[in-house]
């Protein structure tokens, strides 16, 4: 069966909700044993439970990706349990709206700690196990903000630009170890985060703002978490074995067709 992940072990950070949840469910459906690393115990454990009822057993670990000691301990335990790790998805991330004038030092540090250091920590912890097996797959979640300027996204864009360049560096440095590293750059994807953002910032105008945000993609709508999960599935499959060091926009034409 094409795109099979049978007998693969996949770690998905932020795998309890939104895009991460879609990836966790899709990978499990295609045969992988999924380990969800998330700070939200409720959504993380519920997603793992639901997957276990439908597919392979899935597991949840509460993990703060910004803390290397926490990350290293969890990934070491997963490697011990499964005698190897095949896939790492760096999906955990946080957003922020603002230009440099209304971005505080604390805001910048908070985004850096999760969006940049979190990716660093997870890759650093998993690389030794990938090298032991002489193979491994890493997918980092970047953003269209990694490649084009977006108004009022200064700190967020900075962190996602770092994710993009980290992807290139890891892919280059570990070619000899048969480790593939790519990143995915979504435009707006319809997740609970988007709904909560609109409700908080535009009370009473939710429908209007949803339509406005949807139209910023030339294709005329937001993406679906499942569409991002399908792309991640392909990139982690044997069918993508010739692909590394590449950014994959999934943006409804945003980068190339706007303007």
> Which pLDDT tens digit goes with each residue over 198-244?
998 899 999 999 999 999 999 999 999 999 999 999 999 999 999 99
- The active-site residue out of 156, 168, 174, 202 is 156
Supply 14's token pair: 């932020």
Buried b (16+ CB within 10 A) or exposed e, 60-81: bbebbbbebebbbebbeebbee
Residue 256 sits at φ, ψ, to 5 deg, of -95, -25
Low-confidence ranges of the chain (pLDDT < 50): none
Q: What does the DSSP 8-state code read for residue 98?
A: B
> Quick one: pLDDT at residue 197?
85
Supply 187's token pair: 């435009």
The SS3 of residue 193 is helix
Token look-up 């209304």 returns 102
Does residue 89 contact residue 11 with C-beta atoms inside 8 Å?
A: yes
Token look-up 């990706």 returns 65
> Quick one: pLDDT at residue 259?
61
Distance CA 189, CA 1 (A): 29
Instruction: Answer yes or no: 174 catalytic.
Output: no
> Quick one: pLDDT at residue 258?
84
Burial label, 140 (beta-carbon count in 10 A; 0-12, 13-18, 19+): buried
This prediction's pTM? 0.96
Give the pLDDT confidence of 86-115 residue by residue, as tens digits.
Answer: 999 999 999 999 999 999 999 999 999 999
């Amino acid at each position: 069966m094409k795109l099979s992940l049978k007998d693969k072990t996949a770690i998905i950070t932020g795998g309890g909700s939104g895009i991460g949840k879609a990836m966790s469910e899709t990978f499990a459906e295609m045969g992988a044993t999924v380990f969800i690393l998330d700070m939200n115990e409720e959504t993380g454990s519920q997603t793992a439970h639901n997957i276990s009822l439908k597919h392979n057993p899935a597991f949840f670990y509460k993990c703060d990706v910004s803390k290397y000691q926490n990350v290293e301990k969890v990934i070491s335990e997963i490697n011990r349990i499964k005698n190897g790790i095949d896939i790492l998805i760096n999906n955990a991330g946080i957003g922020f709206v603002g230009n440099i004038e209304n971005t505080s030092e604390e805001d910048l540090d908070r985004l850096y700690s999760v969006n940049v250091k979190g990716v660093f920590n997870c890759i650093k912890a998993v690389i030794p196990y990938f090298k032991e097996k002489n193979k491994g797959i890493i997918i980092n979640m970047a953003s269209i903000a990694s490649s084009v300027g977006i108004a009022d996204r200064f700190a967020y864009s900075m962190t996602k630009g770092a994710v993009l360049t980290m992807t290139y560096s890891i892919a280059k440095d570990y070619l000899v170890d048969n480790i593939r590293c790519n990143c995915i750059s979504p435009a707006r994807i319809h997740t609970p985060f988007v709904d909560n953002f609109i409700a908080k910032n535009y009370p009473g105008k939710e429908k209007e703002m949803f339509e406005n945000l949807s139209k910023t993609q030339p294709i005329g709508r937001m993406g679906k978490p499942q569409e991002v999960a399908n792309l991640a599935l392909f990139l982690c499959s044997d069918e993508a074995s010739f692909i590394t060091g590449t950014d994959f926009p999934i943006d409804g034409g945003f980068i190339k067709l706007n303007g």
